[in-house]
Amino acid sequence: MTSFVTVSELVKENDLKVYGGKELLDDRKVTTSDISRPGIELTGYFDYYPSERIQLFGQTESAYSHSMTANNRYKVMLEICREDTPALLISRNIKPSAELLRAAKEHKVPVIGSELPTTRLSSMVTEFLDQKLAPRESIHGVLVDVYGIGILLTGHSGIGKSETALELVKRGHRLIADDRVDVYQQDEKTIVGEAPKILNHLLEIRGIGIIDMMNLFGAGAVRSESDIQLIINLEDWSPDKNYDRIGTMENKRAIFDVKVPQITVPVKVGRNISIIIEVAAMNFRAKNMGYDATKKFEENLGSLIKENTQNEEGNK
């Protein structure tokens, strides 16, 4: 888990402008994804001022501050700019006042901005900080994008996860991460997976070594991240184990607070695992669209039983 994001990262990755305090960007740290719009603070009320948040000035805040006298505006800006304030953020290309820049300089608070409307800017920055500050976990597995479905392949070392991923890429699908998958919870329903920086676009094949998937197959063969929508656990086939043959066994694996659907696929000589995974992805999508082949089979079975029962009663 990352405990902070520097204002420098925030500026670079969101294409923000710097109005003042450029030399402070690497030192100022953002520790929360919450953003504050200092409306009531502009009136002089600071009893519950969340100074540890980025302070966002939109059109309303800027217009109100410009209605104040220069002296009062400077005093209020001094109160807003505190030791733990990461940055002042201004939307809509609004030019910061001289008093704001002066107060920010005195308290060593960077002043940054964007041309985006206030609501869009707030959403963009919050989403970025949510992603960067979210708790993270590393999972042993391979993450692939199959027909737009993020599938996490799990199983013991040597079961063939990487080889399966290679076959899937050759069939037109995309690799996100091999061996280790860094995951974080984006919201109440979404888990996102990505590769550790050191393993980005790389795949290990025993007997060959490390291969660069982007170099060999092109940019269309990889993705930087993907939602994890389905987990497929690969395990050695055992004649003593009862595997799901109809599709009624609904298992889920909890990752943080999200329960992700999981199926088990037995690995055996002669089984084409990559094709099975493709079908699993298509079947998962069909279920999400409202079509469930298992329910269709149960309905057909029920109709057949009912028909046979009626025939038997008719022959008595």
Residue ranges for the known binding site for ATP are: 155-162
Query: Which of 73, 132, 161, 223 does the annotation list as catalytic?
Result: 161
CA pair distance 51, 84, nearest whole angstrom: 6
Cβ(90)–Cβ(57) below 8 Å: yes
Instruction: Return contacts of 177-182, CB within 8 angstroms, 24+ apart.
Output: 177/142, 177/143, 178/142, 178/202, 178/203, 178/204, 179/140, 179/141, 179/142, 179/204, 180/138, 180/139, 180/140, 180/141, 181/138, 181/139, 181/140, 181/141, 181/142, 181/143, 181/152, 182/136, 182/137, 182/138
Say which residue the tokens 């909890």 belong to. 254
Residue 103 CA to residue 34 CA, distance in Å, equals 23
Catalytic entry in 47, 197, 240, 245: 245
Strand, coil or helix: 132: helix
List binding-site positions for Mg(2+). 162, 204
Nearest to 232 by CA among 176, 296, 166, 152: 152
Confirm whether 161 is a catalytic residue: yes
From the list 130, 179, 227, 292, the catalytic residue is 179
Structure tokens at 261: 């659907």
Residue numbers belonging to the annotated binding site: 155-162, 204
Q: Which of 140, 170, 171, 295 is catalytic?
A: 140
Q: Is 140 a catalytic residue?
A: yes
Q: Is 66 a catalytic residue?
A: no
Mind telling me the catalytic residues? 140, 161, 179, 245
